[in-house]
């Protein structure tokens, strides 16, 4: 894997007003080095023009990307060659979607007949080689627009992997000493973190019902004097004196 970077760009006033400051993590998976470098140069040119910062990671084959992806799943944009050696861009995209990634996927191909295959992985666009600069700029801006309106998320490191969790998928957080367990509909994540510090990283959709529990207001289905019930039927303790406060927060959020 090759990682490319560039200095933070200076934005003019118009760009600052129209486009929020955002750093994008971009992967380019292409088996021809000249193509990889050309695509990377265009991605950075786009970022400079629109006032974004980005980190581009280059991969020479699908296997190389998937190996790195096991440790870091926080990619925002994937530029994937459809026709690579043993593991095609489509196969890479399928694996990424299996992990629940909402990254924007752009396929690069020499043949139009592959275009229909991207629907199953919710690909944003197909770019035909040689990739036209203006078209790539247009599609990257569309990808950025979709990413900037995506649900709030948080990036965690769990068991050696970097994982992006969307706040709407978190049902509750449970504290065990110096660790917390983040409970989602798709699984649980245990990390070394203080629950108070973790709560500060989240938005206003969460309420501290107890010293050991942080609950998503979105997932509450019942509130009693002594407990909270969330989707899935899990019942969690409600600290004495928090009944009125959690009711106010729940009504205000919904």
Q: Is the pLDDT of residue 116 over 80?
A: no
Handedness of CA 133, 136, 141, 144 (dihedral sign): negative
- Residue 247: pLDDT band (50, 70, 90) is very high
Over residues 15-24, mean pLDDT = 55
- Alpha-carbon gap, residue 42 to 37, rounded angstroms: 9
Over residues 97-111, mean pLDDT = 86
- The token pair that represents 228 in the structure block: 């909270």
Q: Reduced to 3 states, what is the DSSP secondary structure of residue 79? A: strand
User: pLDDT above 70 covers what percent of the chain?
Assistant: 88
The string of DSSP codes covering 122-153 is: T--EEEESSPPHHHHHHHHHHHHHHHHTSPPE
Over residues 76-103, mean pLDDT = 89
Over residues 173-189, mean pLDDT = 94
- Residue 217: pLDDT band (50, 70, 90) is very high
- Alpha-carbon gap, residue 74 to 191, rounded angstroms: 17
Q: Is the pLDDT of residue 119 over 70?
A: no
Q: Is the pLDDT of residue 45 over 60?
A: yes
- Residue 38: pLDDT band (50, 70, 90) is very high
Per-residue confidence (pLDDT) for residue 17, from 0 to 100: 34
Q: Which of 13-17, 47-51, 90-94 has the lowest mean pLDDT?
A: 13-17
Per-residue confidence (pLDDT) for residue 236, from 0 to 100: 96
- Residue 58: pLDDT band (50, 70, 90) is very high
- Could you tell me the strand order of the sheet in which 220-223 lies? 220-223, 227-230, 235-237
């Amino acid at each position: 894997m090759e990682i490319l970077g560039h200095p933070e760009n200076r934005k003019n006033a118009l760009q600052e007003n129209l486009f929020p400051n955002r750093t994008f993590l971009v992967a380019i998976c292409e088996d021809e080095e000249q193509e990889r470098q050309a695509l990377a140069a265009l991605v950075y040119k786009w970022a400079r023009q629109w006032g974004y910062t980005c980190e581009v990671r280059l991969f020479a084959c699908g296997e190389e990307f998937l190996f790195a992806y096991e440790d870091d799943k926080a990619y925002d944009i994937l530029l994937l060659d459809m026709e690579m050696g043993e593991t095609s861009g489509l196969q890479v995209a399928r694996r990424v979607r299996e992990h629940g990634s909402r990254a924007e996927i752009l396929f690069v191909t020499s043949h139009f007949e592959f275009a229909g295959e991207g629907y199953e992985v919710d690909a944003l666009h197909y770019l035909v080689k040689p990739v036209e600069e203006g078209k790539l700029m247009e599609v990257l801006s569309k990808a950025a627009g979709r990413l900037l309106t995506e649900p709030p998320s948080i990036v965690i490191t769990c068991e050696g992997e970097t994982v992006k969790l969307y706040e709407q998928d978190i049902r509750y957080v449970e504290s065990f000493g110096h660790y917390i367990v983040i409970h989602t509909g798709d699984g649980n994540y245990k990390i070394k973190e203080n629950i108070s510090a973790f709560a500060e990283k989240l938005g206003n959709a969460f309420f501290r019902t107890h010293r050991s529990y942080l609950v998503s207001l979105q997932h509450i289905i019942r509130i009693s004097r002594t407990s909270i019930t969330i989707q899935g039927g899990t019942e969690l303790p409600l600290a004495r004196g928090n009944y009125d406060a959690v009711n106010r927060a729940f009504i205000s959020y919904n």
